[in-house]
Structure 1
Amino acid sequence: MSSENAYYVPHDAKWPIIGSIGLMLFFGGFAAELNNAPSASIIMTVGFLVLVYMMFGWFGEVINESESGAYKSNEDASFRGGMVWFIFSEVMFFAAFFGALYYIRTFSVPWIGGEGSGASTNEYIWDGFEAMWPTNGPANVGGEYEKMGPWGLPAINTLILLTSGVTVTWAHWGLIANKRKQLIIGLALTVILGFVFVALQALEYSHGYNDLNLTMASGVYGSTFYMLTGFHGFHVSMGAIILAVILFRSMKGHFTPENHFAFEAAAWYWHFVDVVWLGLFVFVYWL
C-alpha cells in the first residue's frame, strides 16, 4: 500500500517475459506463414493464445492493485501522462496517412498529369495520363471500379459513431453523479454501437469488392481507401473491446466518482476515434 507522496513500485512480474514469448511466437509464425512454412499457422495461433493469457493475467493484476488502493495521486498523474502520449502517437499515426493522401491528391497526381512546373513530365513518365481524383493510376491498374460514395453506409456509420460519443459522455456523467444504472446503460449502448459500426464497415467492404470492383489493387485510390478506413476500423474494434471491459468492471461495482481513470482513458480513446472518422468521412468519402 502506497502513501500519498510515495510512488507504488510493483512486485516482480512474470508477465513481461510471457508477453515477449507470445510476441516472438506470433510474429515468427506470421513470417513463416508468409513463406509457406509447415506448422506456421499453429505457431502463430499458440503465440496469439499466449498473448491473450498475458493480457488477462497482467491486466487483472493491475485492476486488483487499483481496486485495493495501491494507486494514489502520483500514479494517477503518471497514467494520465502516459495516455496523453499514447493518443498523441495515434494522432501522428493517422496524420502520416492523411498526409500521404493529401500529397498524392494535391501534388503527385497533378504532377504526373503535367500540371505545375513539371508541365512536360507526363510525356516522359506516362504520356496521356489525365490528372483526376479518384484515380487508379496510369494503365488503369486493377481495372474499372466505382468510387465509394459518402451516403448510405458511410453516412449511417458517421451517425452511429457520433451517437456513441454522446452515449459514452452520458455514461461518464452517470459515473460522476454516482448513478450506476446510467453508467452501465450508457456503456452498453456505446459498446453495441461500436460493434454495429464494425459490422456495417465489413458490409461496406463486401459491397466495394463484389459490386464496385474497388479492391486493394485498384491503384492508389483503392490502397489509400482501405489503408485509412481499415486502420480506423481496427481502432474502433479495439476501442469497443476496451469499453466492453470497462462495462464488465462497472457491472462488478468498480469505479467511483473520485477514482475512475480507466473509464476516462477509454472515453478519451473513443472520442479520438470519433474525430478521426469525421476526417475520413470528409476527405476520403466526400471530397
Structure 2
Amino acid sequence: MSQAEGSYYVPHESRWPVFGVPGIALLMAGFSVYLNGGNWGVPTMVLGAIITLIMTVMWFRDVIHESVSGKYNAQVDVSFRQGMAWFIFSEVMFFGAFFGALFYARVFSIPWLSGADPATSQFLWDSVVLSWPTAGPGMLDLDYTAMGAWFLPTLNTIILLTSGVTLTWAHHAIKENHRRQVVIGLALTVALGFLFSSIQAYEYFYAWDELNLRMDTGIYGSLFYMLTGFHGVHVIIGALTLLVILLRVLKGHFTADNHFGFEAAAWYWHFVDVVWLGLFVFVYVI
C-alpha cells in the first residue's frame, strides 16, 4: 500500500550499518597495510571487501523492496535527491583534495625546490633542478618514463564520453517510456564502463612493466596512481550500479514518472565523466 499524502516513511531498524562499519574498516586497514608491505594486508583487505559487498547487496535489496512495494512518496523522493546531491558534493571534495595535491606539487613545490626563490631553495634542496613530471629531488637518477596522453588514455576518454551519450539516450528513453531503448542504452553504457576499466588495467600493467612507473616513483608516481586509481574504482562502482539499474529495468521497476534510482546512477556516472576530463588534461596532457 502506498504512503498517504503528507506522510513520511520511516524505515525499520537496519542491521546493515553494523556490518558495514567493520567491513569498510577492514578494507581500508588492509589496503594501508598492503601499501606499506605488510603480509596480512591482502587477506584483511579481501575479508573487508567481502563483508562490505554483502552489506551493500543486502541493504540495496531492502531499499528496492521498500520502493517497489509503494512505501515511498514525493517527500521521500526529495530526501533521496538531496542525499545524492550531498554525496556527489562529498566526492567533488574527495577528488578536489588530490587535484589540490597535484596543483601544489607542480605550481609551488617544484619552483621552490628549483630555485625560483633563491633565498629559500638553498635551504630546501640546494642546486636541484626539477620540471614536471618529476619523481622528486631524491629520485633524480630513477629510470622511468611518464605516461603520455596517446594512445590508451585518449581511447579511454572517447569510450567514457561515448558512455555518457548512451546513458543520456537511455535517460530520455525512460522518460518517454521506450523500454527497449532504455535497455539498449544502459547495456551499452555498462559495456563501455567495463571496457574502460579493462583498458585502464592494461595501461597500469604497461606503465608498471614497460615504463617503470610505480606507486613509489616519487610524487609523480604516487599522484598518478592515486588520481587515476581512485577514479578507476569509481568507474567500476558506477558500472556495477548501472548494471543493477539495468536488471531493475528488465524487471519493470521504473516508470516514466518514477525512476530516481536510474537518475541517481546517471548523476554519478556523469560526475565520473567530468572528473576523468580533468584527469586527462592535468595528468596526461599538461
Q: TM exceeds 0.5?
A: yes
- Structure 1 residue 59, shift from structure 2 partner: 1.0
Aligned counterpart, 1:53: 54
Q: Which residue identity is paired with 1:280?
A: L
Aligned counterpart, 1:263: 262
Is 1:184 the counterpart of 2:192 in the alignment?
Answer: no
Is 1:2 the counterpart of 2:12 in the alignment?
Answer: no
Aligned counterpart, 1:202: 201
**Structure 1 residue ranges without an equivalent (≥5):** none
Q: Which residue identity is paired with 1:89?
A: S
Q: Which one is further off, 41-50 or 249-258? A: 41-50
Structure 1 residues 90 and 26, CA, compared in 2 at 3 Å: closer, same or farther? Answer: closer
Distance 1:280 1:41 in 2: 28
**Cα pair 2:115 2:127 within 8 Å, conserved:** no
TM-score by length of 2: 0.92
Distance 2:284 2:29 in 1: 37
Moved over 6 A (4+): 28-34
Aligned counterpart, 2:80: 79
Is 1:100 the counterpart of 2:98 in the alignment?
Answer: no
SS of the aligned residue for 1:270 comes to helix
Q: Which one is further off, 175-184 or 216-225? A: 216-225
Alignment of structure 1 residues 8-87 onto 2, 5 Å: 8-23=9-24, 36=39, 45-87=46-88
Is 1:125 the counterpart of 2:124 in the alignment?
Answer: yes
SS of the aligned residue for 2:169 comes to helix
- Structure 1 residue 185, shift from structure 2 partner: 0.5
Q: Which residue identity is paired with 1:145?
A: Y
Aligned counterpart, 1:273: 272
Is 1:239 the counterpart of 2:212 in the alignment?
Answer: no
SS of the aligned residue for 1:200 comes to helix
Aligned counterpart, 1:170: 169
SS of the aligned residue for 1:71 comes to coil
SS of the aligned residue for 2:248 comes to helix
- Structure 1 residue 127, shift from structure 2 partner: 2.4
Q: Which residue identity is paired with 1:203?
A: Y
**Cα pair 2:130 2:137 within 8 Å, conserved:** no
- The number of aligned residues is 283
Aligned counterpart, 2:155: 156
Distance 1:150 1:271 in 2: 21
**Structure 2 residue ranges without an equivalent (≥5):** none
- Structure 1 residue 203, shift from structure 2 partner: 0.7
SS of the aligned residue for 1:278 comes to helix
- Structure 1 residue 144, shift from structure 2 partner: 1.5
- Structure 1 residue 210, shift from structure 2 partner: 1.0
Q: Which residue identity is paired with 1:286?
A: V
Q: Percent identity?
A: 56
Cα shift readout 1:30-56 (whole Å, capped 9, x = no counterpart): 67877546xx86665454433333222
Structure 1 residues 154 and 142, CA, compared in 2 at 3 Å: closer, same or farther? Answer: farther
**Cα pair 1:136 1:222 within 8 Å, conserved:** yes
**Cα pair 1:4 1:74 within 8 Å, conserved:** no
Aligned counterpart, 1:213: 212
Aligned counterpart, 1:251: 250
- Structure 1 residue 217, shift from structure 2 partner: 1.6
